[in-house]
A and B are shown apart, each in its own frame.
Chain A
Amino acid sequence: MTDTNQPQNDSKNNSAKAKVYKEGGLIRWSAIIPFVIVMALGAAYFKLFFDSHMKAGLEWAGYKALGTEVNIGNFETSFIKGNVAITGLEITSAEQPDFNSIELGSIRFDVNWDALLRLKFVVEEMSVENVQFMSKRKYRGKVAPPPPPSEDKPGLASQVKDKAIGKIDEKGKGNLLGDLSAFLQTGDYKAQLANIESQLLSKKMANDLKAKWATKQTDWDAKLKALPKESDFKSYKVKFDGIKVKDFKTPQELDASVKQFNALKSEVDAKLKLVNDTKNEFNADLVQIKKDYQGLDEQIKADVASIKDRLKIPKIDSKQIAKSIFMDYLTPYLRKLDKVNELAEKYLPPKYSKMVNENLDSKTILAGKKKKPVEKAEDDTIQPHPRAEGVTYEFPVKSGYPLFWIQNIKVSSKSNAQVDYGDISGVIQNIVSNQRQIGKQTEMHIAGDFKSKNIQGLKVDAYLNNLKDEPAAGMDFAIASYPLQAIELMKNTDGQIAMQQSSINIAAHAATVGFKTYNVGLTNVFNNVQFNLAAKEKVVEEILKNAFSQLTSFDLKAEVKGELSSLDVDVSSSLGDKLQDALSASIKLKVDELNKEIKLKIDNEIGKVKGEIEKQIGTLTKGYLGNANDTQAKLDAQKNIADEKIAAAKKDLENKAKSQLQDKGKKALDDLKKKMKF
């Protein structure tokens, strides 16, 4: 045995047992068996519990998202077939929890496996059947309490309402009848007008302005006195005339004259500067006095409006009447828009919800503030050194899908003897995560009737277009005929205007571009109308009855346009026109007389002072500014004369030098001729 073999033998002897390592077969059964068990448990879960858990999850998520109870009758999925079936989907109405705002009999769809293997969710056709609106629930649905109103974000409804009826009307909202009664009851307005003198803000303002500009006038006089006078101009003329302008014998003589001219010109320039400064001051004062005059005019208008409000003079304007009668009727529609905005802000993809959010942040917009960019917090966590990223090549996609795409949803329902689902048919196309990839916009077209509810000619056409730079969305909604329950348009202690059951035709449209500008319109035509009219004052009741007795049909048009921060609201109605006509006939004379009286009162109180301010404007424009302009023109003329004289003197010397040179040249030539004996 050699030394080198010794360790090998030793190790073989010593660790013979340790070196026998269990090698086993090729497959690692100890891993596969637990894996199969886990998979089997997973499959069992999906078979037995997944559907019920999904159902509960969707009901919970639906309640959280919509704020009203959502119920699902049955939820079934098949992973092998790739299909989903939901039956009995009910969404509770927030306003009437005993009813569903919508109930869908069944929703069925197959998932596209080819897309699923690319981790894309694509549904080629989804069918939604047995649609019902306002169906009775088995039990009262749960409705989440409304969130507290945000001070920062006034809702669309409140913004529009504020805009439409204004703050003055808001105080006595729906009090057209009260104003009318009060106006007709009150007899002697002259006595009331006599006492308002002390309350006229415009009178105080006019007196203040008068005093302010009277003081100013003293300043103007002083400034005008400091300007050059006729004697100054004469003295300049004498000085200019005294300076030699011709027959210069030497250039030194000319130089002395030019210096004298320049010295005199500097003096004129200094005066000219004084005139210009004074003129600028006069101009600034003129701008200010005109501004003050405008302010006074506005204050007078505000005073007149305040007097009319105090005397409760009804506004005989059909649009104003329509607004005060119908704003309560329109508010629920606007609240729905608020709800849509809220949902859009919460659930639209971040890109769009940000747009909605930015536009809704009206407080910031109104204050003219720009949002500060959110500074990113510095990331001080330890980052692993990244591997190089390489180049990722994009090959032509021949069978690609967007991340999420429901190509077609067929909506249909047909009434039968047992249940009135309504006869509805329609399609919703291309609900997609990326419209540009498929080059199509999302569209919805639904039409139908609900005979048992007497709703006929329902039509909804909507779109969402994200193919261009700015997303656009719009909807047209129409109902040919819809029974309207009795409603109270106006009711207070002074009387009421109510309508008994009628039929209504609705046409509405809504559109937005970039979630910045909105255009929402509603046209309602009320047919077969019968009014319930009552008023505390007989005269008022008579006016109302005369206006409405023959009226069986009228329309209501509402239009909200523009950006959220500056919405333009327009409400008009033929009912307003009718009432305007009736009021014009009955009270116009009295209103006109009173308006005349108010004008007279204002003219008496403020007219004189206003006239004085006007006179001051005239004096400043024609008198003071005119004087300054004249002085400036005269000084300019003096300056021009000086310039002309300097030029003439220079020319004279130049001519003289030239003739002297010519004479000398001629003499030299003659001498030369003589020498040459020519």
Chain B
Amino acid sequence: MTILIKQLLNLIKMLHSENGTTQIAWGLTLGAFLGFSPFFSLQTFLVLFILFFFRVQFGAAFLSAFVFKFVAFLVDPLANSLGQWILEEPSLRPLWTKLYNIPIIPFTRFNNSIVMGSFLAALILSPFLYFMFIFMVKKYRTTVAIRFENSNAFKAIKGSKFYLWYTKYNDLYGN
């Protein structure tokens, strides 16, 4: 839980800095994959692997996964239809049979209509989501972040001793 809170604080901090835009956008996009996936499968591991080994913003991914989990509830019927359609497509049947017989691949659970539909939906949406998240982060920084930083409440916090101590601690031990 502490790690999760720390990652979310990092996300806020990063949102209020001038760089890390792509890290946040990648985190949010990969989080969408996690959120769409209904079960724990091989592709979930793959996304976690990318999050772990590449400099992608963790907090953004977790936040995105949380939000997209709810979105996924709404789009499950659609994902189910999409998955059924593609898995029942006669021309693709040899491909699915081949994949089904290859070691490891069945652990992706691609033969489940919702897994297949959700994965395809996430895959198709990912480029759009990536650029949309970049646009949104930039927009946030130029509008919301600045307005927030200029608010009296933030200035009051910033002027407090506690904030000074926090800044010092963050300079020494922060990311």
Contacts and interface: CB of A to CB of B under 8 A. Distances in A.
A395 B38 contact: no
B159 to A, nearest CB: 11
A419 interface: no
Given A26-B55, A117-B104, A392 B112 contact: yes
Interface stretch (A17-25, A207-215, A527-535): A17-25
A391 interface: yes
A27 B87 contact: no
Given A388-B80, A390-B112, A397 B100 contact: yes
Q: Which of A15, A31, A119, A388 has the most CB of B within 10 A?
A: A388
A396 B100 CA distance: 8
Contacts of A188: none
Interface residues of B, number: 45
A47 B41 CA distance: 30
Interface stretch (B9-17, B60-68, B121-129, B131-139): B9-17
Contacts of A118: 103-104, 106
A119 B105 CA distance: 12
Given A8-B146, A28-B53, A398 B101 contact: yes
Interface in A362-411: 387-400
Contacts of B34: none
A24 B22 CA distance: 12
Contacts of B146: 7-8, 11
Interface in A1-55: 7-8, 10-11, 14-15, 18-28, 31-32, 35
B114 interface: yes
A390 B83 contact: yes
A18 B154 CA distance: 15
Nearest to B10: A21
B83 to A, nearest CB: 6
Contacts of A28: 52-55
A558 B9 CA distance: 81
A114 interface: yes
Interface residues of chain B: helix, strand, loop or mixed (majority): helix
A7 B76 contact: no
Interface centre among B17, B73, B115 (most CB of A within 10 A): B17
B53 A389 contact: no
Interface string A501-524: 000000000000000000000000
A400 B38 CA distance: 26
Contacts of B23: 23
A391 B18 contact: no
Contacts of A388: 38, 76-77, 80, 114
A391 B53 contact: no
B103 A117 contact: yes
Q: Which of A14, A28, A35, A399 has the most CB of B within 10 A?
A: A28
Contacts of A22: 175
A11 B17 contact: no
A390 B80 contact: yes
A374 B113 CA distance: 36
A118 B107 CA distance: 8
Given A7-B146, A7-B147, A387-B73, 4 more contacts: A21-B17, A391-B80, A395-B111, A397-B100
Interface of B: 13-14, 16-20, 23, 38, 52-55, 72-73, 76-77, 79-80, 83-84, 87-88, 93, 96-97, 100-101, 103-104, 106-107, 109, 111-115, 117, 146-147, 149-150, 167, 175
25 contacts: A10-B150, A19-B16, A19-B17, A20-B17, A20-B18, A21-B19, A22-B175, A23-B23, A23-B55, A32-B53, A118-B104, A119-B107, A387-B38, A387-B73, A387-B114, A389-B114, A390-B79, A390-B80, A390-B113, A390-B117, A391-B84, A392-B109, A393-B113, A395-B111, A400-B101
